[in-house]
């Protein structure tokens, strides 16, 4: 299937703003498809599976970091931003993947990790040696009579102090693992280097990548003087309160300059912020017209399966982004959180809710991020043996959920084989035995499967003019039920466990669980979502 890329500002110069309603599929590179049998997913494996993503109906693919890295944090510790780690392939593989994606009509977004480097990055090796190279990072003397105490009370997101002492007695800042020293964005060399890295990927092989997912986009600038916070409960405050290391006003100037850089390339290249801000209003600042195009909407991801709570999040999200003219994004899962089937209660109920939530999300105005395997209804793997875990937040003991390996288990493609088609041999994390039944092969062609539900939903979303970007308004519904309308369309979501009776709003298009229509009324099953044409 070959599609035309619609957003390219090519011959006509028309800008379609493709990203305003794009469905962007997140590939966690290490766990998607292993072409060479080393148990680790790689770029060739992804390229081979791109037709699957095009047929699924994705508009773009976001690839998590595949750069040279000692893998202290799944590749979010980059040692060389212009080199593909041999674990994942070569630069030629990256170019080939880009070419194939573009031929299939898929855009490609790659991660950029500007808040910190790996401690193996040449800059950090130079900084350890002392001298002016230290100014690229945050080195400080310690407190206490012998400088034996960290310079301030900041905690690492992964637990423990955000400072590590080096052999000459000074300390360096790392908001994440000690292997991820924070860069000093006040240093002009840092800015120049990242401009160059962005250009490298935007130009790779000619056409280059279509955008960047910006890791820790809210953390690059720290409050002047690195002031104490006064409590050790900092990780819990992320996303709800202001912290001197997150969401400082100074970050916006960087994003504005990146926007200018992105806009200097043809084809509407985008920047999407991974930003944790204390409110929807603060988050909207990242997507002002001269800043980034999108920001992940973690309020939606964090919301419980409850109609009133979801309605509030939807309203707040739409109002905040509308205030700056940006689209909202919706996301239910990613490589850092427990998969939503499990968050919503797990088992049959969790799956029912996850299927309904997916239809809800895909009917809302804006752009949608899907995390690999959610289209299969994969649950979190909660019983991984500790000795196989790799997540640094597990080892440091106080991470966001402490269990990020359970959502990173390799994708099952076939209902048998040593890793259910992930690769020729076993994968880097074992898949539960039940995962053959979740595989792409097992679900394809089964109209009741979650995969076919996603395929149908994405196809309809593309076909119906009223979905994607545009208006929506709430209609009246009983408690526990969300009803909203979009041009030519109504969506009903029953978040209660039991069925509810509604007036038939239109002609049923697609359901996560079949409604029972009789005359003017319809019984909508518990934990379900239905799309209606009006
Ligand atoms: C956010 C990424 O999604 C996560 O996986 C990583 O550990 C941190 N940023 C640090 O880079």
42-99 pLDDT per residue, tens? 999 999 999 999 999 999 999 999 999 999 999 999 999 999 999 999 999 999 999 9
| Size of the chain in residues | 534
- Distance of CA 215 from the midpoint of ligand 1 (Å): 6
For the residues 278-294, what does the mean pLDDT come to? 95
Q: Residue 17 contacts by C-beta under 8 Å, 6 or more apart in sequence?
A: 7, 268, 469
By DSSP bridging, strand 329-331 and strand 481-486 are unpaired
Residue found under tokens 């703003």? 17
Q: Which DSSP symbol is given to 533? A: E
**Percent of the chain residues topping a pLDDT of 90:** 89
**Which two tokens mark 410?**
């390799």
Verify whether residue 274 is a known catalytic residue: yes
For the residues 316-320, what does the mean pLDDT come to? 95
Pair 14, 114: CB distance under 8 Å:
no
Scanning 229-306, the segments in alpha helix (DSSP H) are: 234-237, 251-263, 280-284, 298-302
**Which two tokens mark 434?**
């039940």
Q: Give the three-class secondary structure for 418.
A: coil
Q: Residue 71 contacts by C-beta under 8 Å, 6 or more apart in sequence?
A: 77, 85, 87, 390
Q: Give the three-class secondary structure for 278.
A: coil
- Distance of CA 147 from the midpoint of ligand 1 (Å): 30
Q: pLDDT grade, residue 240 (50/70/90)?
A: confident
Verify whether residue 85 is a known catalytic residue: no
Pocket test residue of 67, 179, 215 for ligand 1, highest count of atoms within 8 A of CB: 215
The pTM assigned to this predicted structure is 0.96
DSSP-based helix, strand, coil % in the chain, nearest 5: 30, 20, 50
464 by Cβ neighbours in 10 Å (0-12 / 13-18 / 19+) ranks as middle
Better pLDDT: 390 or 217: 217
347-371 pLDDT per residue, tens? 999 999 999 999 999 999 999 999 9
Pair 13, 66: CB distance under 8 Å:
no
pLDDT at residue number 393: 76
Any ligand 1 atom below 6 A from CB of 76: yes
Any ligand 1 atom below 6 A from CB of 93: no
Element (H, E) at 521: strand 521-524
By DSSP bridging, strand 211-214 and strand 107-112 are parallel
Q: Give the three-class secondary structure for 497.
A: coil
395-442 pLDDT per residue, tens? 766 444 447 999 999 999 999 999 999 999 999 999 999 999 999 999
Pair 175, 216: CB distance under 8 Å:
yes
pLDDT at residue number 254: 98
Residue 158 has pLDDT above 80, yes or no: yes
Any ligand 1 atom below 6 A from CB of 59: no
117-129 pLDDT per residue, tens? 999 999 999 999 9
Residue found under tokens 């840092």? 190
Closest CA to 104 of 145, 170, 59: 59
Q: Where are the beta strands (DSSP E) in 207-296?
A: 211-214, 270-273, 294-295
pLDDT at residue number 400: 41
**C-alpha–C-alpha distance, residues 371 and 25, integer Å:** 6
- Distance of CA 530 from the midpoint of ligand 1 (Å): 35
Kindly report the protein residue whose alpha carbon is nearest to atom 5 of ligand 1.
336
Q: Residue 211 contacts by C-beta under 8 Å, 6 or more apart in sequence?
A: 19, 60, 107, 109, 110, 262, 269, 270, 271, 272, 293
β-strand partners of 121? none
**C-alpha–C-alpha distance, residues 395 and 506, integer Å:** 52
Catalytic-role residue among 47, 119, 215, 374? 215
Closest CA to 525 of 372, 352, 346, 359: 352
**Which two tokens mark 329?**
């994004």
Kindly report the protein residue whose alpha carbon is nearest to atom 4 of ligand 1.
336
Q: Give the three-class secondary structure for 233.
A: coil
Better pLDDT: 5 or 349: 349
Kindly report the protein residue whose alpha carbon is nearest to atom 11 of ligand 1.
76
**Which two tokens mark 321?**
């982004």
């Amino acid at each position: 299937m070959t599609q035309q890329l619609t957003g390219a500002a090519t011959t006509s110069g028309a800008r379609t703003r493709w990203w305003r309603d794009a469905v962007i599929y997140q590939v966690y590179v290490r766990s998607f498809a292993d072409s060479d049998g080393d148990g680790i997913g790689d770029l060739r494996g992804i390229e081979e599976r791109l037709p699957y993503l095009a047929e699924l109906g994705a508009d773009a693919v976001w690839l998590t970091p595949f750069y040279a890295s000692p893998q202290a944090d799944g590749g979010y510790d980059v040692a060389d931003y212009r080199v593909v780690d041999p674990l994942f392939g070569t630069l030629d593989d990256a170019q080939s993947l880009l070419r194939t994606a573009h031929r299939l009509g898929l855009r490609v977004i790659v991660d950029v990790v500007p808040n910190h480097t790996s401690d193996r990055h040449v800059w950090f090796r130079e900084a350890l040696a002392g001298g002016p190279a230290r100014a690229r990072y945050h080195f400080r003397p310690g407190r206490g009579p012998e400088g034996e105490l960290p310079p301030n009370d900041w905690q690492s997101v992964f637990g423990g102090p955000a400072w590590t002492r080096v052999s000459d007695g000074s300390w360096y800042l790392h908001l994440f693992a000690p292997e991820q020293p924070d860069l000093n964005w006040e240093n002009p060399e840092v800015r120049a280097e990242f401009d160059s890295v962005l250009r490298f990927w935007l130009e790779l092989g000619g056409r280059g990548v279509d955008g960047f997912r910006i890791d820790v986009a809210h953390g690059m600038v720290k409050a002047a003087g690195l002031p104490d916070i006064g409590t050790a409960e900092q990780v819990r405050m992320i996303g709800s309160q202001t912290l001197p290391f997150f969401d400082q006003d100074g970050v916006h100037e960087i994003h504005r300059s990146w926007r200018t850089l992105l806009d200097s390339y043809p084809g509407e290249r985008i920047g999407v912020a991974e930003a944790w801000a204390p409110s929807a209003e603060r988050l909207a600042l990242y997507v002002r017209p001269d800043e980034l195009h999108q920001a992940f909407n973690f309020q939606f991801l964090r919301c419980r399966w409850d109609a009133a709570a979801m309605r509030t999040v939807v309203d707040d999200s739409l109002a905040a982004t509308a205030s700056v003219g940006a689209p909202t994004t919706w996301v239910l899962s990613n490589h850092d959180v427990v998969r939503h089937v499990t968050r919503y209660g797990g088992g049959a109920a969790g799956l029912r809710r996850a299927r309904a939530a997916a239809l809800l999300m895909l009917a809302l105005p804006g752009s949608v991020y899907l995390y690999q395997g959610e289209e299969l209804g994969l649950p979190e793997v909660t019983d991984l043996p500790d000795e196989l875990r790799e997540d640094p937040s597990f080892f440091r003991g106080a991470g966001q959920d402490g269990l990020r390996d359970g959502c990173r288990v390799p994708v099952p493609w076939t209902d048998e084989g040593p890793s259910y088609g992930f690769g020729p041999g076993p994968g880097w994390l074992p898949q539960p035995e039940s995962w053959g039944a979740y595989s792409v092969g097992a679900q394809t062609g089964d109209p009741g499967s979650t995969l076919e539900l996603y395929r149908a939903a994405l196809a309809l979303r593309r076909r119906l003019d009223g979905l994607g970007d545009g208006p929506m308004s709430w209609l009246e519904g009983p408690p526990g039920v969300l009803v909203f309308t979009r041009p030519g369309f109504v969506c009903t979501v029953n978040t209660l466990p039991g069925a509810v009776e509604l007036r038939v709003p239109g002609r049923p298009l697609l359901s996560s669980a079949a409604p029972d229509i009789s005359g003017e009324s319809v019984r909508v099953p518990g934990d379900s979502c239905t799309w209606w044409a009006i």
